[in-house]
Amino acid sequence: MTSEKRTDGGTTRDRAHRSPASERWLGRLWLTVADRYERYRYLDEADKESLNWHSWGTILTHWSLLVLMILVTLTGLSKWLGVYGPLDIGIWGGYNPAFLVHVWSGVLLAVVAFLLYPFYSIYVDGKSVLLTREQLQEQIVIALAFLGLASYIPGYKKARRSYDAENEEWIGHHPTQTAFWYATWLFVGILTLTGFALWAALASDPAWWIATLGFMDSWFAFETILRIHLVSTAIILASVAMHAYFPLLPSNHDLLFSMIHGRLDGWRVTAENRPERQGAARSKDTLLGPLSGLARLFGTEPDIQDSLAGPETETPTEEQPEATDTPEERS
């Protein structure tokens, strides 16, 4: 078996001589994703520069979504529980102010979620929301690492902070972030439709556009629509909580603050400074927890890092013999 000596005293095995763990499906998947990003582990911290990450339109619409979600949640709970607090205003009582704030905040929430934020994030900032096959692979590996069943993808954190200047795109797109926006659009859509249906059912003479958007009122009973509305609210709040959890981790504070000032310290990668793959990167985790046995069963134990692909080498081409004149040509 051929191997290459590493600087840490270990060896980097050729792809053709990978460990038995790499023969399992999850092991092969981990190596596929790790080989994709391992090169970015070697980006030099000294080459970092301040990059434009979010436009002001993206920042304002992002925080507008948060404020509107808080408003519709609090006013919805107030109407449901009959507790209005500061909304209990004089002759109007508490219900009418809560109702008006709830429905119009919901309308604005749908406008921002479906029109304004996608415009600034996708069109202005050039972000991608397409869920690709590669992202699905990364999501599986990241989920395994989160559960302690696999090592984290080497080089992935730096790849997420790297901009490919030639292809004009960010190199790493966290799949959970992409999945979050699909969940947001799905459940904001359900909340919007069920909300208009509840509005149409409660109004004695609803306007035509309320009756049109509230078409579900004629499909389901009021109680059923309300249950769907409440369950969708709980799901989207859980998604928002997960969305907020990861930026609050110390290693992701730069991503959190980028949603305030729009800048991110990262790397502008070109063909000249793109690192070569070395196959020597190793995650610091050791997977020594209670789930380490499952990791060995899945083929994602730490030893699989020894099977990372080594430096890329060009296959030498056979030299062609120089052409010689035939006797006929010489004559």
281-307 average pLDDT score: 70
Q: What percent of the chain has pLDDT over 70?
A: 82
- Predicted pLDDT of residue 15: 46
- Predicted pLDDT of residue 144: 85
Give 6's pLDDT tier (boundaries 50, 70, 90): very low
Give 320's pLDDT tier (boundaries 50, 70, 90): very low
3-class secondary structure per residue, 245-311: HHHHCHHHHHHHHHHHHCEEEEEEECCCCCCCCCCCCCCCCCCCCCCHHHHHHHCCCHHHHHHCCCC
The string of DSSP letters for 11-77 reads EEE-GGG--GGGGSHHHHHHHHHHHHHGGGGG--GGG-EEEE---HHHHHHHHHHHHHHHHHHHHHH
155: nearest Cα among 275, 331, 293: 275
185-213 average pLDDT score: 89
- Predicted pLDDT of residue 189: 93
20-39 average pLDDT score: 81
What distances in angstroms separate CA 108 from CA 65, 228, 230, 238, one per listed residue? 9, 20, 19, 21
Asked if residue 87 lies in contact with residue 158, where contact means CB atoms within 8 angstroms, the answer is: no
Question: Is residue 84 classed exposed, middle or buried when 0-12, 13-18 and 19+ CB atoms within 10 A define those classes?
Answer: middle
Q: Exposure pattern of 125-139 as b/e (b: 16+ CB <10 Å)?
A: bebeeeeeeebebbb
Does the pLDDT value for residue 328 go beyond 90?
no
Asked if residue 175 lies in contact with residue 138, where contact means CB atoms within 8 angstroms, the answer is: yes
Q: Which residues pair with 320 in a beta bridge?
A: none
How many other β-carbons are positioned within 10 Å of the β-carbon of residue 152? Answer: 16
- Predicted pLDDT of residue 287: 56
Give 20's pLDDT tier (boundaries 50, 70, 90): low
What distances in angstroms separate CA 22 from CA 32, 55, 114, 241, 271, one per listed residue? 10, 42, 43, 35, 30
Q: Which residue has the higher pLDDT, 9 or 109?
A: 109
- Predicted pLDDT of residue 59: 95
Q: Is 170 helix (H, G, I), strand (E, B) or coil?
A: strand
At 203-255, the pLDDT tens digits run 888 888 888 888 988 899 989 999 999 999 999 999 899 888 888 888 889 98
Asked if residue 136 lies in contact with residue 175, where contact means CB atoms within 8 angstroms, the answer is: yes
The domains of the chain are located at 24-54+127-309, 55-124
At 55-105, the pLDDT tens digits run 999 999 999 999 999 999 999 888 877 776 777 776 667 778 888 889 999
At 142-154, the pLDDT tens digits run 888 887 788 888 8
- Predicted pLDDT of residue 291: 66
Confidence (pTM) = 0.75
Q: How far apart are CA 109 and CA 189, in angstroms?
A: 10
Asked if residue 185 lies in contact with residue 114, where contact means CB atoms within 8 angstroms, the answer is: yes
Does the pLDDT value for residue 330 go beyond 60?
no
- Predicted pLDDT of residue 327: 43
Does the pLDDT value for residue 119 go beyond 80?
yes
Asked if residue 165 lies in contact with residue 46, where contact means CB atoms within 8 angstroms, the answer is: no
